[in-house]
Chains A and B, each alone.
Chain A
Amino acid sequence: MSQPSSRIQTLLPLAASALVAVALYELVTIPAGLEARRGFESRALSVGHVLALSLGVAVQLDDARTVESFLTAAAAEPSLSYAVVRKPDGKALGGYRAERAPVRPELLGMAPAAVEDAGLRHLGLPIIDGKERVGWLQVGFNLDELSRTLTATRIAATLVALVAMGLSAALFSRSAANRRRMLQQIATTSGQLRATSVQMVSSSSQQAAAASEHAAAVEETRRTMQSMVESATRIAATSREVLGHADQSVMGAQAVSQAIRTLAGQAEKIGDISELIRSIADKSDLLALNASLEGTKAGEAGRGFSLVATEMRRLSESVLGAAREIKSLSSAIRSASETAERSVLEMRTSSERTSGSVREISRITEQQREATEQVTKSMNELGGVLVETGSTIRRTEESASALLRLADALTQLTAQVVRRSAQAQAGGAEK
């Protein structure tokens, strides 16, 4: 009875080493989780089966200490809520958080059974040693935790622990058939472990390359954003300058408009004055005409008078001509002033529209600059995150490589055990 226990004690360091590996890989998180719901059922079942197979001898021997050791090792699986081993009479031989185990008689049958309640998946598995059912294993898995932690690393870590336990259990199994079944299970598990490790290495390399590309793209985007901020700043400065010119144009247009109105008013006054002059000249002409007439009536005595009157008429006619010209000029000035004022008004309206447009451009540019700065800030933060992610991925890649080496070693070890077991069986048969 004590021989198998001592072999278990000898092999426990191997299990302990595997558990160290579990702890190591659990520190690493791979961003892309596997499909949770679909995978966790087989995962839970796989853990349960390996555990049940490993426990056969210890339960047969009533070795509570070994049972506790296996259950504690199985607790490396983070979704494991509880585990309890019962003898055929229902008495508990050992457990891990056994107080959480519900009383579910339907789980303690000849075949594996599973039920789900209160966020837990409960498994009931018969523990076989040789052909004899020596007890039951009742385990519960937390569904949320099972889904959340279902990453390649965690699966691989759990498999490492289980392979180690399975190897140690297989070495002291009394039933050759049971041993073969366990070794086949372990060989399969080792293969899964290796495939997972290869997948992890490949995935990590791809992720590292993708992260590198993302980092380059982010840096390029950051530079573009910075360039946009500088452009927006220059546009804002130019807009302010244009706005200043436009405001000056508006004020200038107001001054010109005022000056033109003054000029038009003065031209109108000139027109009034020229009209007055024309009226006086007209009356002078009439007076001179009448004077000339009177001189003619006076005969020879009025000849000199007529000559003076005629000269006066000529002067009056000259003044009339000049007055007409002045009036015409003042009318032209008024007309030109009106045209100029209309033009200035249009110019002012145009300048005000320009001012409005420039203010709008300035406002939009400022908003764009703020938004771009925000994006640049985000890009900087994203760049930092990507660098951190890249670092994490590299660590994952290193860990995955280490896991792959360990998987290879376990596969070789399993092969050796299988080979030696076969040789020992062949030797026993000869004897």
Chain B
Amino acid sequence: MRLLVARAGEDRFAFESLQLVTILPWPLETALPWGSLHALAGLTAEEPEPRAVVGRSSGGTPFALRVPGPLGEEDAGDVLPVPPLLGAPRWVRGFILTAEGGPALLLDLPSLGDAVLARTPPSPLPEAPT
């Protein structure tokens, strides 16, 4: 399975390439609802060298997720399940072991899109950083 890996603080997050529509530069030039990976990870600082990962919700609505750069690519084997006791949200499919040897949470983009759309209605274009 081909994965795109982003690092947020100490944690790593993976996206299945086949779930991605495209990757856009930040700030967005198209009006899309968007969310922040740092916000999901509980980090207050804005993502460095940000990029926008574009996917679709389960209803097919496109959305963007701002992720920190640079992004890595790798092929992963089995997706390991998250123990139920940990109470992971629905948009976490499981975790994988990266080529470096550490774990990375594999995010389910359609579920994440649903969550983003539920939290943030379609918003105007974000402001360019000054």
Contact = CB atoms under 8 A, between A and B. Distances in A.
A290 interface: yes
Contact of A290 (B2, B22, B49, B70): B22
Interface string A254-293: 0000000000000000000000000000110110011011
Contact of B18 (A285, A290, A297, A306): A297
A320 B23 CA distance: 18
A293 B25 contact: no
Nearest to A299: B18
Nearest to A292: B73
A100 to B, nearest CB: 118
Nearest to B73: A292
A317 interface: yes
A317 B70 contact: yes
Interface residues of A, number: 15
Contact of B73 (A282, A286, A297, A310): A310
A296 interface: yes
Contact of B2 (A282, A285, A296): A296
A312 to B, nearest CB: 12
A286 B17 CA distance: 14
Interface string B57-92: 000000000000011010000000000000000000
Contacts of A317: 70
Of A289, A292, A313, chain B has the most CB atoms within 10 Å of the CB of A289
A306 B75 CA distance: 12
Interface residues of B, number: 14
Contact of A289 (B18, B23, B49): B23
Contact of B22 (A283, A293, A320): A293
B22 to A, nearest CB: 6
Contacts of B24: 286
Interface in A27-81: none
Interface string A98-117: 00000000000000000000
A185 B2 CA distance: 154
B37 interface: no
B23 A286 contact: yes
Contacts of A285: 70
Nearest to A297: B18
Of B23, B24, B49, B51, chain A has the most CB atoms within 10 Å of the CB of B23
Interface in B93-127: none
Contact of B17 (A293, A310, A313): A293
A285 B18 CA distance: 19
B28 interface: no
Majority secondary structure of chain B interface residues (helix, strand, loop or mixed): strand
Contacts of A290: 22-23
Nearest to B75: A296
Interface string A319-337: 0100000000000000000
A203 to B, nearest CB: 104
B23 A297 contact: no
B17 A296 contact: yes
A310 B75 CA distance: 13
Contacts of B20: 293
Contact of A286 (B2, B4, B18, B25): B25
B63 to A, nearest CB: 17
A363 to B, nearest CB: 59
Contacts of A296: 2, 17-18
B15 to A, nearest CB: 10
B23 to A, nearest CB: 5
A242 B49 CA distance: 58
Contacts of B25: 282-283, 286
Contacts of B51: 286
Contacts of A320: 70
Interface in B1-19: 2, 4, 17-18
A416 B25 CA distance: 147
Nearest to B17: A296
A299 to B, nearest CB: 10
A293 B23 contact: yes
A292 B15 CA distance: 14
Contacts of B71: 289
Interface of B: 2, 4, 17-18, 20, 22-25, 49, 51, 70-71, 73
Interchain residue pairs A-B with the least CB separation, the first 4? A296-B17, A296-B2, A289-B23, A293-B17
30 contacts: A282-B25, A282-B49, A283-B25, A285-B70, A286-B23, A286-B24, A286-B25, A286-B51, A289-B4, A289-B23, A289-B71, A289-B73, A290-B22, A290-B23, A292-B17, A292-B73, A293-B4, A293-B17, A293-B20, A293-B22, A293-B23, A296-B2, A296-B17, A297-B17, A297-B18, A306-B2, A310-B73, A313-B73, A317-B70, A320-B70
Interface of A: 282-283, 285-286, 289-290, 292-293, 296-297, 306, 310, 313, 317, 320
